[in-house]
Amino acid sequence: MAKAVHSMIRVLDEARSLAFYERAFGLTVDTRLDFETFTLVYLRNPEADFELELTVNKGRTEPYDLGDGYGHLAVVVDDLEGEHARLTEAGLGPRKLVSFAPDGGEPIARFFFVADPDGYQIEVLQKAGRFR
């Protein structure tokens, strides 16, 4: 059976992205691989083995066009309201809290979104049900 190990995104400014992901989600550098034209930076935290791979293409000066195919990354937290308040206080601009209840039924998820410095969307979900 396959096991998901990482997701890769391209970032313009390594330091800015590292600061965001550490401040927002406690992700720190596990491995940094430097090559002639690009650098790969693997971020993780003690909560999971899954990593976020940042690809930094050297010499790039223009922001990436995220296009209309990218959706979002998702993380789960124990205290959704507390994390929303913490990210707000940190000046990271999380969007509003949402209770998702399709067709007016029971809520199946509670979440908010926050964007990283390159515009990638991250969904922050309350740990519950299928989101564990």
Confidence at residue 38, expressed as pLDDT on a 0 to 100 scale:
96
Segments of the chain with pLDDT less than 50? none
CATH superfamily of 70-132: 2,3-Dihydroxybiphenyl 1,2-Dioxygenase, domain 1 (3.10.180.10)
Which of 22, 36, 53, 123 is catalytic? The answer is 123
CATH superfamily of 1-61: 2,3-Dihydroxybiphenyl 1,2-Dioxygenase, domain 1 (3.10.180.10)
Confidence at residue 69, expressed as pLDDT on a 0 to 100 scale:
84
Confidence at residue 93, expressed as pLDDT on a 0 to 100 scale:
97
Confidence at residue 108, expressed as pLDDT on a 0 to 100 scale:
87
Instruction: Name residues whose C-beta falls within 8 Å of residue 26's C-beta, 6 or more positions apart in sequence.
Output: 45, 47
Segments making up each domain of the chain, as ranges:
1-61, 70-132
- Identify whether 83 is a catalytic site residue: no
Confidence at residue 29, expressed as pLDDT on a 0 to 100 scale:
98
For residues 84 and 91, give the distance between their C-alpha atoms in angstroms, rounded to a whole number: 11
Q: Give the strands of the sheet with 48-57, arranged side by side.
A: 6-10, 48-57, 38-45, 28-34
Confidence at residue 24, expressed as pLDDT on a 0 to 100 scale:
97
Q: Do the domains 1-61 and 70-132 sit in the same CATH topology, yes or no?
A: yes
